[in-house]
Amino acid sequence: MGIGEMVSSNVRFLALVLCIGAAMGFMGTSPMLSSTRSRSAAISARAVGPLPRIASLRSGVRQGALGARSQAEGSDAGGSSGKTLSVAILGATGGVGRLTTAIVRSYGVKIRAVVRSPQKAKELLPDDIEVVKADLKNKDSVAAALKGVDAVIMTSGTTAFPTDRWKDGNDPTAVNDVGVKNVVDAIEELNLEAGAEGQRIKKVTLLTSIGVRRADKFPFSILNSFGVLTSMQSGERHVMDGAKRAGFSYTIVRPGRLVGGPFTNPDFAQLLKIEEGDLQSVECVRGDPDGFAGDCSRRSTAEALAQTLIQPVGDLDFALKSVEGNMLSQEKWDQTFQKLSRGQESLRLEFSDLDVDKFNRWLTVWGNGIITSGALFPPLPMPFRVDYPAPPTVGVDLQFLSVTVNGAVTEMGALELRLVKGVEQPWALVAKRSNGQENPFPGEEQLLMQLQDDLYRVTTNSQQSGERGGVWGAE
């Protein structure tokens, strides 16, 4: 659920929301590094080349995102066998959820609507859509509702400020944090039970909001007064961390302030005919960069969510907003996702056998060095800053910046360093968020080599196999 849907039901905050919408232009500002030495470490580095294009919308549901991870692992995703794909949509009776359901239904995909009120769902949705009752606060009910599907789209949410929708404990923490964690935990249990050959959930898509990574910056700090963005960030981290453990790929979609219908229109057949005015096109960018903000129609948000099922992308997170122009054709959506995916995980460093205490001490020194000195050593040839994810996530983001002559700051991308709790042991992961940047950032290779050297020092077993990999670059 995006900003507009979280706020629209609370009239008392209308003026505040308008101020937030008008103010949506902003700028967002830890690491002493050792000298570079060539050595083997407890590391695996892999380069992922260009992802295959989707052939067409009609065949895409057989060879798109649902099959990306399985194809990489050498197994069948289900599409080539002729099996109809099954998708669970959580929150299918909400504004974005209903639109998403309508679009996915047009793909010929079997849909299971997971809702709290089956009676409401039967009134709003066509008879050919399976309706299952579940409460996100109850993991067992979620697991039962998701059993047997290939993919999950989460559109559930609640309001940013206290309203009647918070009744029965459905506040932001319960829905966006605990609820998402229950979904991820349920998927992990189902995939473990299914094993390598059984019915596994291969794709998870989560709807959050623009500003999730900027919750401490105006105007998002106001919206986050009751913790809605903080809870969403926790939900995102549950999905990202769970993907590695449970073996699914994920996409996180962050729309701007939600605008447009549907509001209370019960006619499912008319959902995709709602007029959106001049702002029918969309602009998408990886991550949640400073300076990127604006309204986003519910229709465009739903289109983006549905596209995650048929686009051949791996793990991906992006923000989007409505812009002037026509609604995107399938070809334009293909091009948009290709741009978002370009450079995605072109290098990923994974350190295992980690000494967590050493890692935390090193991370503190690394981050504080930047905060106090304002520079890396050796210095990078382009502006940068360091940002920390909200607890309980452990890690740091080194953001590469573009600064214009008038002082406007835009995030070009970032290197993300995370401590991930693995099934058997913790992992330190370094991945790139490129925001569509095709070429390496100035100084990126130098920084990666030093990061690898430093992280080698906090592994407990220096004899583990693995060699220094390549660096990110143009494909």
Collapsed DSSP state (helix, strand, coil) of residue 203: strand
d(CA 261, CA 270): 11
339-348 residue pLDDT tens: 887 644 444 5
Q: What phi and psi values does residue 336 have, to the nearest 5 degrees?
A: -60, -45
Q: Does the pTM of the predicted model rise above 0.75?
A: no
Q: What per-residue confidence (pLDDT) applies to 453?
A: 73
Domains of the chain, start order: 3-27+52-341 (3.40.50.720), 347-456 (3.30.530)
In terms of Cα–Cα distance, which of 317, 288, 285 is closest to 213? Answer: 288
Q: What per-residue confidence (pLDDT) applies to 50?
A: 26
Q: Which long-range contacts (CB under 8 A, 24 or more apart) does 159-162 make?
A: 159/6, 159/7, 159/9, 159/10, 159/228, 160/3, 160/6, 160/7, 160/10, 160/13, 160/223, 160/224, 160/225, 160/226, 160/228, 161/7, 161/10, 161/12, 161/13, 161/225, 161/226, 162/10, 162/226
Q: What per-residue confidence (pLDDT) applies to 423?
A: 53
Tell me which amino acid residue 235 is. Answer: G
d(CA 26, CA 7): 21
In this prediction, the residues of the chain whose per-residue pLDDT falls under 70 are 1-83, 196, 262-278, 342-353, 370-379, 390, 420-426, 434-440, 459-475
- Helical axes 228-246 vs 180-194, angle rounded to 10°: 10
Q: What per-residue confidence (pLDDT) applies to 270?
A: 53
Q: What per-residue confidence (pLDDT) applies to 265?
A: 46
Tell me which amino acid residue 465 is. Answer: S
Instruction: Tell me the pairing of strands 43-46 and 348-351.
Output: antiparallel
Size of the chain, expressed as the number of residues it contains = 475
Instruction: Tell me the pairing of strands 249-255 and 316-323.
Output: parallel
